[in-house]
Amino acid sequence: MDWRTSLSPAIQENEMKKFLSVAFISLFVSIGCAAAGGNIAGTIQGPDGAPFKAAFVRAQNVQTKMVTIVLSNAQGKYLVNNLAPGTYEVWANAAEYKSDPAKRSDIKVEDGQTLSLNFKMQKSAVQWSQLTRYQAGMLLPIPASQPEARDRDVLLQQCFGCHGMSKWGMRADHDGWANAIGVMRQVGVADIKPEIAEQAATYLASVFGPDSDTPAVPTQLPGYQAVKQDHESWSEDALNIVYVDYQLTGEPKDRPGTGRPDKNGFIWLEMGGGLAKLNPETGEVKIFRLDDPTRPTIHEVFPTADGSSVWLTIQDENALVRFDTRTEKFDPVYKDQWDGPRPRQTNTIAPWPQFRNNDTETIGSGPRTHTAVADPAGNIWASGRPLKKFDIETKKYTNFPDVPDTYGIAIDKEGNIWAGEFTARDYRKLVKVDSKTNKVTKYLPPNTDDKLNGAPRRVKVDSQGYVWCADYFGGNLTRFDPKTETFKIFQIPGPTPTPYGMGVDHNDNVWYTSFYTDITGKLDPKTGKFTEYPSPYGERSTRDLNEDSKGRIWYGAENIFRVGYFRLRTASEMAAVQDTK
């Protein structure tokens, strides 16, 4: 079958596939605890011998480097189940605590066997490098002098988009910090302007220099108690999440923001100058690179519905390229030529009020290709500057100058394209385009003024046709009803919620990851209830969430060069945890 005619099946076939997918997920959930494998179980105690709640217990397969992460419940019990046979390393940790012993090695897991491993938690110093972006932004010292205070603002606006404190576990003078920033420029992970590098180095040397008065650990600051994440604060439901992550190449540009499942169960990842194919059962990763030694930035990859192709968006080259999954070869790169007006940009990352709606651009304003979807005819639509449509027959682009800057993009059952205007200073609408007629319609969310700062970043469509927007600066999940053309806003709880990654599961629950607080969250739209789950990472930098056919939701962990999925335990698994001795 020619890939040009098989990218998107008919709507009726889509519906049947969705029904079968949901049925399969239900079957998977019902038998999940009975899957083959071995188990590790035990109890976690605090320093006083009492049960320790919400400790992360990690079990890493020594051969595959796959890590399964669970949480201890209110009774201190944990269960890591369905592990592949092999040798593991196991350890536990929580904010301000580490396990004793620090790590158990050479743990042999066999099919059908449950090993008992207990840990006792001991108090441990919190390092600056372990803070979330939100915590760091609240605690970083504000210099008394105005120039150095501005340098701090530059750091928060220009650097926190890629990382917060996770890369700064050191003390150094100005030259030391300048050299560290220079390394990032040399390896190509960041295009840092010299004046920005100088301001960042100046501030870091003033607060993390050899003679700085800044405490060695952030817990010594009076503001720490107001921003700490207490392990006792999580709900019982929040402890039922399971994370599994995978090691990638570790190369600086191989930092996927998400994982994209295909029809065959493989996970596709954007990598520096190419893409990767992950087998989630074995952890095997296969890398494919474009014939370009500069390794251009691939913003996202998009597997087609029939499994024959994966499309890559080459961000700064404003281009698309197709990868043939059968031949494992790339087609020629299709570059879009766009010389239209450049919309005024603004801060796209820092959520604090003083940075919003200013004219400090945290990203360039040039043409770019961002995220892609396929319409029913198989044509590829890509968000970016501007919104564009690529005809797979003619290999020509249609640009939409009245939609000059978009971020998230999705498609509904009728073939309408939905996109969010986000990065441009003066554009904050939800956009619909009829893929057959190219007619553009825009809808203004009710909270887009300069005070409330609403703007749609990620965009997804659920099974009922509702369009969901991750309102990053507003701290909301926003639902749009195309039938009534009305918005409903769901306010995310907690301080500085910044929903970046967003996905809709087979039950139409809406999942999100908060970029600054690094919390995983779920909204049940039927009840309006939010459940927030602790994250095992201080900084994850997840940019999107995607569910696979087994109900697992895939995420990227950019700052630690890994990709993974999370899922909720079944009722039988939760009962098994409770039965742990």
Mean pLDDT of 231-243: 96
Is there a contact between 467 and 459 (Cβ–Cβ < 8 Å)? yes
DSSP assignment string, 169-218: -----HHHHHHHHHHHHHTTS----HHHHHHHHHHHHHHSSTT--S-SSG
pLDDT grade for 102, boundaries at 50, 70 and 90 = very high
Is the Cα torsion angle 41, 553, 384, 484 positive or negative in sign? negative
For the cut 60, the answer to whether the pLDDT of residue 378 exceeds it is yes
Q: Distance of alpha carbon 370 from its chain centroid, rounded?
A: 15
Q: Distance of alpha carbon 403 from its chain centroid, rounded?
A: 25
For the cut 80, the answer to whether the pLDDT of residue 35 exceeds it is no
pLDDT in tens, 183-200: 887 777 777 889 999 999
Domain edges within the chain: 37-123, 128-227, 258-560
Minimal CA–CA distance to 369: which of 419, 413, 303, 439?
Answer: 419
Q: In this predicted structure, what is the pLDDT of residue 352? A: 82
Mean pLDDT of 53-69: 97
Q: In this predicted structure, what is the pLDDT of residue 25? A: 34
Q: In this predicted structure, what is the pLDDT of residue 27? A: 33
Q: In this predicted structure, what is the pLDDT of residue 362? A: 66
DSSP assignment string, 84-115: PSEEEEEEEEETTEEEESS-EEEEEE-TT-EE
Choice between 122 and 27, residue whose per-residue pLDDT is larger: 122
Is there a contact between 573 and 564 (Cβ–Cβ < 8 Å)? no
Q: In this predicted structure, what is the pLDDT of residue 19? A: 35
37-123 has which fold?
Answer: Immunoglobulin-like (2.60.40)
- For the chain, the distance separating the N- and C-terminal CA atoms, rounded to the nearest angstrom, is 56
Three-class HEC string of 229-296: CCHHHCCCHHHHEEEEEEECCCCCCCCCCCCEECCCCCEEEEECCEEEEECCCCCCEEEEECCCCCCC
Mean pLDDT of 407-433: 95
Least confidently predicted of 90-99, 139-148, 560-569: 139-148
Is there a contact between 557 and 537 (Cβ–Cβ < 8 Å)? yes
Percentage, residues of the chain above pLDDT 90:
76
Q: In this predicted structure, what is the pLDDT of residue 1? A: 35
Mean pLDDT of 555-568: 95
For the cut 60, the answer to whether the pLDDT of residue 3 exceeds it is no
Q: Across-strand partners of 368?
A: 385
The strand pair at 520-524 and 529-533 is best described as antiparallel
Q: In this predicted structure, what is the pLDDT of residue 354? A: 78
Mean pLDDT of 244-265: 96
pTM summary value: 0.92
Q: In this predicted structure, what is the pLDDT of residue 359? A: 66
Mean pLDDT of 346-367: 77
For the cut 90, the answer to whether the pLDDT of residue 49 exceeds it is yes
Minimal CA–CA distance to 156: which of 344, 365, 352?
Answer: 352
Is there a contact between 472 and 422 (Cβ–Cβ < 8 Å)? yes
Mean pLDDT of 83-102: 96
Q: Phi first, then psi: what are they for 356, rounded to 5°?
A: -80, 150
Q: In this predicted structure, what is the pLDDT of residue 481? A: 98
CATH of domain 258-560: 2.130.10.10
Residues 6+ apart with CB under 8 A from 391: 379, 397, 398
Q: Identify the residue whose tokens are 């030259």.
A: 175
Q: In this predicted structure, what is the pLDDT of residue 20? A: 35
Q: In this predicted structure, what is the pLDDT of residue 146? A: 82
Q: In this predicted structure, what is the pLDDT of residue 18? A: 38
pLDDT in tens, 313-347: 999 999 999 999 999 999 999 999 999 888 888 77
pLDDT grade for 484, boundaries at 50, 70 and 90 = very high
For the cut 70, the answer to whether the pLDDT of residue 162 exceeds it is yes
Q: Across-strand partners of 57?
A: 70, 92
pLDDT grade for 46, boundaries at 50, 70 and 90 = very high
Residues 6+ apart with CB under 8 A from 308: 1, 3, 6, 7, 324, 325, 326
Q: In this predicted structure, what is the pLDDT of residue 420? A: 98
DSSP assignment string, 498-518: -EEEEEE-TT--EEEEETTT-
Q: In this predicted structure, what is the pLDDT of residue 357? A: 67
Choice between 189 and 380, residue whose per-residue pLDDT is larger: 380
Q: In this predicted structure, what is the pLDDT of residue 358? A: 67
For the cut 80, the answer to whether the pLDDT of residue 29 exceeds it is no
Q: Across-strand partners of 474?
A: none
Three-class HEC string of 40-61: EEEEEECCCCCECCCCEEEEEE
DSSP state of 569: P
For the cut 90, the answer to whether the pLDDT of residue 356 exceeds it is no
